[in-house]
């Protein structure tokens, strides 16, 4: 069964799309079959990778019934990672995209392509919208990227309120995968202090232990339409996303052990 994870933030500029692409790539390097979905009409993930150049079609064509999944999904060169873009959504079609989400058709389209994957990471547009609501409603969990600055921290309360509303009204099984600190300068006393203050306000398990550092290589990765791990100068930040993927897998193993201890297992097979 696929684990579908929506990555979403109320505040822009926190590395949301970078997290989807780099975490998706890193997770695929560990062995699982991974699909990255760009559900943002602005096509941020498509522009930040070369997938859009390989195939500009995507969710829009599926919603219009003009294509099949095999026609719009792009596979990475190294295997294990696939990409489904939003399609060439022009300004006048954003309303159509949102209406299809409201009508439940976006849910049907996404669910129709997730079965053969172990992990599905969905990138949504910044802010709160019907598309974000729908993506969370069909997901297993949510990752919230959080940059250590005042505006991003102030937006967290609204983001979590939105998450709780989706869980109460549309998906009782939805869980918070974790809050992820991104674009962090470990040499900044202000940022370190802010991170510590935010952590004190929540249970420890709410946060990922992995912290994504600020690195100029992010911009270079965008310019070259690739992920950090494929750039010699992106090794530091790229390794952080690999650490994040490993942390997620270890969390899942710990949950499995807990189920075994509680007698909820049915054996190894």
- List CB contacts of 189: < 8 A, sequence separation 6 or more: none
Cα separations (Å) of 211 from 115, 178, 179? 30, 12, 10
Share of the chain above pLDDT 90, in %: 69
Q: Is residue 107 part of a domain?
A: yes
Residue 85: DSSP 8-state:
-
Residue 48: per-residue pLDDT:
81
What are the beta bridge partners of residue 175? 141
- The whole-angstrom separation of Cα 232 and Cα 238 is 10
Q: Is residue 268 part of a domain?
A: no
Given a contact cutoff of 8 angstroms between Cβ atoms, the answer to whether 162 and 193 are in contact is no
Placement of tokens 């939003």 in the chain: 86
Q: Which domain holds residue 226?
A: 3-261
- List CB contacts of 169: < 8 A, sequence separation 6 or more: none
Q: Is residue 267 part of a domain?
A: no
Please compute the mean of the pLDDT values over residues 236-264 and round it to a whole number: 87
Tell me the pLDDT tens digit for each residue of 68-86: 999 999 998 877 999 999 8
pTM for this model (two decimals): 0.94
Tell me: pLDDT of 54 over 90: no
Tell me the pLDDT tens digit for each residue of 108-146: 999 999 999 999 999 998 888 999 999 999 999 999 999
Max distance between CA atoms of the chain, in angstroms, equals: 54
Q: Is residue 191 part of a domain?
A: yes
Q: Is residue 269 part of a domain?
A: no
Q: Which structure tokens are listed for 128?
A: 């709160």
Domain count, the chain: 1
What is the domain-level CATH number for residue 83?
Answer: 3.40.50.300
Tell me the pLDDT tens digit for each residue of 173-229: 999 999 999 999 999 999 999 999 999 999 999 999 999 999 999 889 888 888 998
Tell me: pLDDT of 51 over 80: no
- The whole-angstrom separation of Cα 92 and Cα 76 is 31
Cα separations (Å) of 77 from 25, 57, 82, 83, 170? 11, 19, 10, 11, 37
Q: Is residue 89 part of a domain?
A: yes
The angle subtended at Cα 108 by Cα 160 and Cα 102, nearest 5°, is 55
């Amino acid at each position: 069964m696929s684990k579908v994870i929506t990555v979403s933030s109320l505040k822009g500029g926190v590395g949301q799309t970078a997290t989807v692409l780099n975490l998706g790539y890193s997770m695929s390097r560990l062995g699982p079959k991974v699909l990255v979905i760009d559900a943002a009409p602005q096509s941020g993930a498509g522009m930040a990778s070369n997938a859009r150049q390989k195939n500009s079609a995507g969710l829009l064509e599926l919603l219009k019934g003009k294509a099949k999944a095999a026609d719009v999904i792009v596979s990475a060169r190294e295997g294990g990672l696939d990409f489904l873009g939003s399609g060439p959504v022009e300004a006048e079609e954003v309303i159509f995209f949102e209406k299809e989400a409201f009508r439940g058709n976006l849910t049907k389209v996404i669910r129709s392509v997730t079965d053969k994957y172990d992990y599905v990471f969905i990138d949504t547009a910044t802010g709160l919208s019907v598309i974000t609501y729908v993506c969370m409603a069909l997901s297993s969990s949510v990752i919230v990227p959080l940059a250590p600055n005042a505006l991003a921290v102030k937006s967290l309360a609204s983001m979590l309120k939105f998450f709780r509303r989706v869980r109460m009204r549309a998906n009782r099984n939805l869980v918070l995968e974790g809050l992820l600190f991104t674009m962090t300068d470990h040499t900044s006393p202000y940022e370190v202090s802010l991170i510590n203050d935010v952590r004190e306000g929540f249970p420890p398990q709410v946060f990922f232990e992995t912290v994504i550092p600020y690195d100029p290589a992010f911009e270079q990765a965008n310019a070259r339409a690739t992920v950090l791990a494929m750039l010699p100068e992106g090794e530091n930040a790229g390794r952080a996303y690999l650490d994040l993927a490993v942390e997620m897998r270890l969390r899942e193993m710990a949950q499995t052990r807990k189920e075994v201890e509680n007698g909820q297992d049915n054996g190894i097979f």
